[in-house]
Amino acid sequence: MRKNRFGAIAAMAAVAALTLTACGGSDNAGDGEGDKVRIGIKFDQPGLGFQDGSTYTGFDVDVAKYVANELGYTEDKIEFVSAPSANRETLLETNQVDMIFATYTINDKRKERVGFAGPYFIAGQDLLVRADDSSITGKESLDGKKLCSVTGSTSAENVKKDVPGVSLVEQQGYADCLGLLETGSIDAITTDDIILAGLAATSANKGKFKVVGKPFSEEPYGVGLNKTNDKCEKINTAIKKMIDSGEWQKALDKNTEGTGYKPSALNPPTKFEACS
Ligand code: GLU
């Protein structure tokens, strides 16, 4: 009897040990593979998410690294994956990435398919024009103009909804619109001010273009998650810690240096997603 009870307890202890091991191993940002975390970023947005060989730079990348580290993933455990605007929801839904930091505006339509933590930044939609163009001074002066934006972005959606009288060309990425603007096939590129500032400031583009500087929307950048991901609270805590520690400001300054970009007074964000 005694022996049996001891045996049962030993068996229970063994099960508990196994369970503990399993729990330890499953503390993953997105229940992805092993001890790696796959993070979706933009590869073609200088200052935000940019790939140069095996190096990734930008504000999104820096926030992603900070948050990943707070979740227990050192930099060598991060695999960066390209997340173009039109593919972000699908990448999360199909578990091809664990988190997305890719100038990803939090909105209700997207929340039908994915979850969000954050925001970690608040941008505003603006216009990029040729440096010598004085005809476009804001959203009100776009009648009859040709615009370029990106498929699957809020920028393209907002233009279609709010700016009648413009024609819109859609590309896969904002950098793909630059050649069209330079040659005159289009009159302006429209997306978030911080993205446009980064594109205009590269050495290849310097002096060619200017950001109009009259934002006409609010674009809170969230951390995109699969709906089953339970790390939203932890991610919010990490973002708050990054802001409070001064690291957020440092990262923003470093990545916008030389662009002339001034973040709006809505930054740093103070209100975060409820993580339902
Ligand atoms: N923030 C906007 C969006 O999420 C525009 C930038 C982008 O396409 O990433 O759609």
The finding on whether 205 has its CB within 6 A of some atom of ligand 1 is no
CA 104 – ligand 1 centroid, Å: 5
Tokens of 89: 């929801």
Atom of ligand 1 nearest to the CA of 85: 8
Q: Which of 226, 227, 188 is nearest to 210 (CA)?
A: 188
Q: What is the pLDDT of residue 3?
A: 37
Distance 125 CA to ligand 1 centre (A): 9
**Host H or E run for residue 148:** strand 146-150
Q: Tens of pLDDT along 55-107? A: 999 999 999 999 999 999 999 999 999 999 999 999 999 999 999 999 999 99
Ligand 1 centroid distance, CA of 22 (Å): 37
* C-alpha span between 25 and 31 (Å, rounded): 10
Structure confidence at residue 87 (pLDDT): 98
Ligand 1 contact via 149 beta carbon (within 6 Å) = no
- Residues 197-211 have pLDDT tens digits of 999 999 999 999 999
Give the number of other Cβ atoms within 10 Å of residue 13's Cβ: 10
Tell which atom from ligand 1 comes closest to the C-alpha of 45. Answer: 9
Report the C-alpha gap between 270 and 252 in whole angstroms. 16
Nearest C-alpha neighbor of 223 from the set 88, 97, 119, 123: 119
Q: Report the separation in Å between the CA atom of 191 and the middle of ligand 1, taken as the mean of its atom positions.
A: 7
Q: Is 192 in the pocket of ligand 1 (CB under 6 A)?
A: yes
Instruction: Please check whether the domain covering 125-211 is classified as CATH 3.50.7.10.
Output: no
Q: Which residues contact 170 (CB under 8 A, 6 or more apart)?
A: 148, 149, 150, 151, 156
Q: Is the CB of 39 under 6 A from ligand 1?
A: no
Q: In angstroms, what CA-CA distances link 168 with 133, 151, 157, 158, 186?
A: 19, 10, 10, 11, 9
Please give the angle made by the CA atoms of 194, 218 and 227, to the nearest 5 degrees: 95
Whether residue 147 contacts residue 126, with contact meaning beta carbons closer than 8 Å, is answered with no
Comparing 28-123+220-256 with 125-211, is the CATH topology the same? yes
With contact defined as beta carbons under 8 Å apart, do 124 and 263 qualify?
Answer: no
Using the mean position of ligand 1's atoms as its centre, give its distance from the Cα of residue 146 in Å: 19
Pairing of strands 115-123, 219-225: antiparallel
Would you say the CB of residue 60 lies under 6 angstroms from ligand 1?
no
CA of 34 to the centre of ligand 1 (A): 30
What gap in Å lies between CA 156 and CA 172, rounded to an integer? 11
Q: Phi and psi (nearest 5°) for 146? A: -105, 125
- Domain regions of the chain by residue span: 28-123+220-256, 125-211
- Closest atom of ligand 1 to CA, residue 42: 9
User: What's CA 167's distance to the chain center, in Å?
Assistant: 27
Q: What is the pLDDT along the chain (276 residues), one digit of tens a residue?
A: 343 443 344 444 444 444 433 333 334 454 445 699 999 999 999 999 999 999 999 999 999 999 999 999 999 999 999 999 999 999 999 999 999 999 999 999 999 999 999 999 999 999 999 999 999 999 999 999 999 999 999 999 999 999 988 999 999 999 999 999 999 999 999 999 999 999 999 999 999 999 999 999 999 999 999 999 999 999 999 999 999 999 999 999 999 999 999 999 999 999 999 997
Q: How many helices (H) and strands (E) does the chain have?
A: 9, 13
pLDDT at 276: 76
- As a whole number of angstroms, the distance between CA 183 and CA 85 comes to 25
- For residue 125, the model assigns a pLDDT of 98
Task: Confirm if 221 and 118 have CB atoms less than 8 A apart.
Answer: yes
Residue nearest to atom 6 of ligand 1 (CA): 103
Reading the block at residue 88, the tokens are 């972000």
Q: Residue 28 has what DSSP assignment? A: -
- pLDDT value at residue 164: 86
Residue 154 alpha carbon to ligand 1 centre in Å: 6
- SS3 for 9? helix
For the domain 28-123+220-256, what is the CATH code?
3.40.190.10
pLDDT at residue 31, rounded to an integer: 47
